[in-house]
Structure 1
């Protein structure tokens, strides 16, 4: 399997971890201790599986490093599975069926259910890193999702709930055909949520920059760039930025659907 951060041999300090796993509730997964998973179809890639139904999520998140020649031409997703890829760093060609989308850092591609996602590293021999997502699509009569590709550099930064030092970017359209969305939430140093949220939606979040302290089920937990956070339904949650840099993370949210009884 191997360690994702290439830390091998004996540790130089106490054997310890910042990981916190509370299934069906919340989780903090730092990069230290992540392992590489062998996934059919991924060639010359380091793939780490993050949130899954085994953790309590209704989706699956991955962290993928495509090395020189790294690709997935077999295809990712399926008839009832929607997929999303975000380029953390590097350059790739992502394909939705037979249509290619060249993506650089901050670029993304959403493939609705029934459209196959393929990936190829095009970063001139250097590695590219991706945040990858899949979920079983919840269909409703009269509405369909469609392929979406863009770069966050082109997206409007909305002042989050009236706060000028907290911004939100919506990566997907606010249309009923979409049963989920991806957002990037960014906090200037010292900024925070306006209140502790409690809601039915669940999140999988990857920290892109900076550091913060996050309230997860009323436990305040330090988090930083490279950490992954899972937030289950009804988990109280909020955060604030610490340090000198902007605290920013990309996260998924289920939306636009009623709840089964």
Structure 2
């Protein structure tokens, strides 16, 4: 198994001598948040979390992407929370990129290390603590769970990327693959968080245009990404945020693999407005 690396923001501030020019852009179809914007000045804090700060890189916005929020959490040794989620209707996915954290879900304790994935069902009793001697950084993606009568709710999941064989896209000769933590046919789940990997030279060979909203955090490598009408360069630490039906494609130029953590909403009817 190839040893994986996962980029994590460190904060800090650039010197006064740096130019202001960067690659950040926000349009009516997509946003690109480069790694260089994730500085100390834009961190946030949450109720009942100790020795923890976070970067909010996506939140529901009317008329844009509306289904999810995406945080990058930074927990100091000894930090964490016994009341991490205050919304009983919110499910979550954690993905660890640096350090080690202890998570207890429904009374069962787990240690998460880089590459670990945790699915936390809505309403679950859970807590999180950094019991190590080093800073821990992880992604936390949240979505309001859409229950369906006659379909069971999903159970907690604790997995690691290293234990999952990627699913290779047909007719790509291994150039494009997806690491799936949840079976796509499991209709209990209304969101998927996966890892997409392109080998150097790999491409999305058409403009994907679909109903799913996306958050894409680049874990490793670099590429050029087609977003709506624009080609943008992205690298490890950058974030792309796409509304529904934003055309998208990419080309991974190398020299190493291009990999990103991907969110999308799935498996539910479209909500319809009520009139009269």
User: Which secondary structure does the structure 2 equivalent of 1:260 belong to?
Assistant: coil
Q: Determine helix, strand or coil for the equivalent of 2:21.
A: coil
Within 2, Cα distance between the matches of 1:184 and 1:146? 21
Question: TM-score w.r.t. structure 1 length?
Answer: 0.92
Deviations 1:20-44 (A, max 9, x none): 1124x21111122231102112211
Q: Is contact 1:75–1:116 with CA below 8 Å preserved after alignment? A: no
Deviation track 1:101-126 (CA, whole Å, cap 9, x = no partner) reads: 21111001101111144221133x11
Asked if 2 retains the 8 angstrom alpha-carbon contact of 1:4 and 1:32, the reply is no
Unaligned runs of 5+ residues in structure 2 are 1-8
The aligned residue for residue 148 of structure 1 is 157
Task: Give the structure 2 partner of residue 6 of structure 1.
Answer: 12
1:142-169 CA distances to partner (integer Å, 9 max, x unpaired)?
A: 1121111100111121112331111111
Poorly superposed stretches of 4+, deviation over 6 Å: none
Q: Distance in 1 between matches of 2:27 and 2:126?
A: 31
Indicate whether 1:253 and 2:259 are aligned.
no
Counterpart among 10, 17, 21 of residue 16 in structure 1: 21
1:240 to 239, 248, 251: 251
Q: In 2, Cα distance between the equivalents of 1:211 and 1:257?
A: 33
Q: Name the structure with the higher strand share.
A: 1
Aligned counterpart in structure 1 of residue 95 of structure 2, from 86, 93, 99: 86
Q: Please say if residues 65 and 213 of structure 2, whose CA atoms lie closer than 8 Å, have aligned partners that are also in contact.
A: no
Compute the displacement of 1:73 (Å).
1.7
From 124, 139, 144, give the equivalent of 1:131. 139
TM-score by length of 2: 0.88
Shift of 1:213: 0.6
Given candidates 16, 30, 33, the residue that maps to 2:34 is 30
Deviation at residue 128 of structure 1 after TM alignment: 1.3
Cα displacement (A) at 1:221:
0.4
Aligned with 1:75 (options 84, 88, 91): 84
RMSD: 1.7
2:178 aligned residue (161, 164, 168): 168
